[in-house]
Amino acid sequence: MSRLKPHEIEVRSMAIIDGLLPPGQWSPGERAVVKRLVHTSGDPSLAPSVTFSDGAVDAGVAALRGGCLVATDTHMVRIGVNAARVEAYGGAVECLIADEAIAEESRRTGRTRAACAMRAFGARLDGAVVALGNAPTALREVLALAADSVARPALVVGMPVGFVDAAESKEALMASDLAFVAVKGTRGGSPLAAATVNALLRVAEGEA
């Protein structure tokens, strides 16, 4: 095989993935997200686990174009999101989990840093894209903030990973009235959460 340039490798990869996915199962925007998640994971079997609320992609794209906050539960998600594209719309990508005030609140209350970080965002999550790739406790806190009418995110990317409350917290998200993109079950992770936001940015820019 002749040496391919990086862009050519990506184009070929996405074409292969597109051929592996069933036709007509998702809207064009949803399919763009699913393809990116399969590309990021290297696992076509992930596709059936990706689920969307009605209008989730449109809600996320509109929020990003409007210059929203992208709030993340880990710095790995924050670093993975294309901040330059978010900032070009007037938005910002933020993670509070390493703040000393969050650490102190976690010690004081016995709650996880991730939950404390979401609580610290508070009303700033209203209209935000919230990208969660690690902590079920962060997702539970976002759901609580919405239930308490503190903040209603424009979109929740719910992809906490693991075997303790990851699947259950995502089921709670899917049962809520929030707009969401989620991966069912125990799978997920920070790379997938970041890839979802980046896919939405590509859709926003007409690249998907």
- Domain boundaries 49-204, CATH class: alpha beta
pLDDT-derived band of residue 21, with 50, 70 and 90 as boundaries? very high
pLDDT for position 20: 92
Confidence label for 207 from pLDDT (cuts 50, 70 and 90): confident
Whole-angstrom Cα distance, residue 34 to residue 195? 10
For residue 13, pLDDT over 70 is answered with yes
User: How far is residue 63's CA from residue 54's CA, in Å, rounded to a whole number?
Assistant: 15
CB atoms within 10 A of CB 52: 21
Tell me: pLDDT of 7 over 80: no
The arithmetic mean of pLDDT across residues 117-132, rounded, is 98
What string of DSSP letters covers 58-100? HHHHHHHHTT-EEEESSHHHHHHS-HHHHHHTT-EEEE-TT-H
Q: Which residues are catalytically annotated?
A: 39
pLDDT tens-place string over residues 97-108: 999 999 999 999
At 111, list the tokens.
């709650």
**pLDDT tens for each residue of 45-101:** 999 999 999 999 999 999 999 999 999 999 999 999 999 999 999 999 999 999 999
